[in-house]
């Protein structure tokens, strides 16, 4: 049975993200290769990874290259950087994602997967697993502990076991 993982905000091939997020890499090449190594150290061929957006920058061949380096079956919940003019769901399916969502999804009752944290008064009844905030604390941004930020900077660039995160990481 495949393991399900979740991660967000790799920004493959995005040179400026190193500066913006103070990532510990000398250049984009080092960053890209490290992120592939971290991913592949955990994910196996048939595992499923929910990527919660902002996957890669660059031209189609660059995006395809980095996608192909990563093990596992991949599902994309599109982030703000994945929605560029030519990057609609069909584009991401053609890259190789098995499923592509423009909007948040309900993974199971009470668990919402999204790119950006959902600012909703009723979130106290659910847990929102998201990215977008990178290294910023979500509970301060949205004022609740019902948010789990899995931006890659927060998880050592390694996908997180989704079912373990839900069972062990969600404290009520």
Percentage above 90 pLDDT, the chain: 63
Does residue 30 carry a pLDDT above 90? yes
Q: What is the pLDDT of residue 105?
A: 94
C-alpha pair distances (Å), 67 with each of 81, 91, 113, 157: 16, 13, 21, 15
CA distance 52 to 33: 20
> 42-51, 117-126, 151-160 — which is least confidently predicted?
117-126
Task: For residues 153 and 157, give the distance between their C-alpha atoms in angstroms, rounded to a whole number.
Answer: 6
Q: Which of 38, 37, 46, 49 is nearest to 5 (CA)?
A: 49
Per-residue three-class SS string for 37-69: HHHHCCCCCCCEEEECCCCECCCHHHHHHHHHH
Write down the pLDDT at residue 52. Answer: 97
pLDDT at residue number 26: 96
The domains found in the chain, sorted by start residue, are: 4-169 (3.60.21.10)
pLDDT in tens, 44-99: 999 999 999 999 988 889 999 999 999 999 999 999 888 875 678 999 999 999 99
Confidence of residue 152 (pLDDT cuts 50, 70, 90): very high
Mean pLDDT (the chain, rounded): 88
């Amino acid at each position: 049975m495949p393991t399900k993982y979740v991660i967000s905000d790799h920004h493959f091939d995005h040179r400026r993200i190193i500066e913006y997020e103070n990532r510990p890499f000398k250049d984009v090449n080092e960053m890209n290769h490290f992120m592939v190594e971290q991913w592949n150290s955990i994910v196996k061929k048939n595992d499923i990874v929910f990527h919660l957006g902002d996957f890669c920058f660059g031209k189609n061949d660059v995006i395809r290259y980095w996608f192909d380096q990563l093990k596992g079956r991949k599902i994309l919940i599109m982030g703000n950087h994945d929605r560029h003019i030519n990057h609609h769901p069909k584009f991401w399916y053609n890259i190789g994602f098995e499923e592509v969502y423009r909007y948040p999804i309900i993974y199971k009752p009470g668990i919402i997967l999204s790119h950006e944290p959902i600012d909703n008064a009723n979130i106290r009844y659910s847990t929102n697993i998201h990215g977008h905030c990178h290294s910023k604390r979500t509970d301060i941004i949205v004022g609740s502990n019902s948010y789990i930020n899995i931006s890659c900077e927060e998880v050592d660039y390694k996908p997180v076991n989704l079912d373990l995160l839900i069972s062990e990481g969600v404290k009520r």
